[in-house]
Amino acid sequence: MINHVQKRIVVTGGAGFLGSHLVERLNSKGYCNVFVPQHKEYDLIKHEAIKRMLDTFEPEIIIHLAAVVGGIGANRENPGKYFYENLMMGTQLMEESRLFGVKKFVATGTICAYPKFAPIPFLEDDLWNGYPEETNAPYGLAKKMMLVQSQAYRQQYNFNSIYLLPVNLYGPRDNFNPINSHVIPAIIKKCVDAEREGLDYITAWGTGKATREFLYVTDCAEAIILAMEEYNKSDPVNIGAGFEISMKELTALIVELSGFKGEIRWDETKPDGQPRRCLDTTRAKQEFGFKAKKDFKEGLKETIEYYKSNY
C-alpha cells in the first residue's frame, strides 16, 4: 500500500478545478512532495515537455488529471482538438512514465466513455457494449484509450496503473466560462446574472428530460487519494455519488437556491446529450472504501455562493 507521505507526486492539471482541490487535500493529509507542472512550462501534448517534466520532478506517483474539456457545445465545435490533445497527452505520458520508472500511474477517464444507451446504473463491465454519445465521443474515446493502455501495460510490463471514471463534478472554483463550462456552472451563471440584470427569463438547453449524476469536487479528490493509496488493479472504477437528477429538476433547484424569480425557457433545438447518466459505485466502495459524503443541495448552495462572491 502506498501511504508514505514522502513520496514524490506529480498532479497534472493540478492548477485546475479538480486538481486544486486534490492538491489541497494531499497537503492536508501530510503529503509533502506534491508538484504541479504549469501548462506554460510543460505542454504535455508535446513529447519533449513530458520527458523534461519527469526529469525535473522525478515523480514516484503520477495523478493525471490534465485534460482539454468542455460541455456539449464545446465538444461539438472541437471534436478533433479534444480527441487529439487528450489522446496524445495520456498515451505519451503513460509510456514515458513507464520508461522513467514511475511506481504508480493514476489515470482519470470520463463518464463520456460509456455507451450512449448503457443500462442504468452504469456498470464498469458495460464500458465496451456500444458507442458513446456522439457529441462527446471523440473526447470520451481518447480518454478511454488510457484504460486499454493501462491494462496492456500491466499485462506486458507489470506497470502499476489504475483507471478511475469520475462522474460530472461541481463545486467552488468550477469553470463558469459560458463557452466551455459544464451544466451546473452554466445554469448558476445564467440564474445569478439574470437576477443581477433584472431579466425575467433564462434559456436552458434541450428538453430537460436528460438525467445526470453529480459529485462534489472534494468528494472526488478524496476518492482519488484513496485509490492512489489502496487500489492496484487495472479494472476501471466508477467514482460517483450514485444518484441521478433530470435537467428539469436540476434547473428548478438552482433557480430556487440562487434566488432567480423569472421563468425557464427550454430551447429544444439544442441537444440533450446522453439520455441518462447514473453510476453504479459498488466497486469503489468494495475496493478502497469510497462513498460520497456531500449533500447535493448543500454542495449547490456553496457553488452558487462561490460564483456570487467571485464573479
**59: preceding bond cis by omega (within 30 degrees):** no
Report d(CA 218, CA 19) in Å as an integer: 10
**3-state SS, residue 242:** coil
How many other C-beta atoms can be found within 10 angstroms of the C-beta atom of residue 4?
10
Amino acid found at 177: N
Q: Would you state the torsion angle of the CA atoms of residues 185, 258, 244, 226, taken in this order, to the nearest 10 degrees?
A: 60
Buried b (16+ CB within 10 A) or exposed e, 33-61: bbbbbeeeebebbeeebbeebbeebebbb
Residue 245 sits at φ, ψ, to 5 deg, of: -140, 140
- Alpha-carbon distances, residue 18 vs 87, 219, 292, 305 (angstroms): 20, 10, 15, 18
Q: Are 61 and 103 in contact (CB under 8 A)?
A: yes
Element (H, E) at 258: helix 247-258
Residues serving a catalytic function are: 139
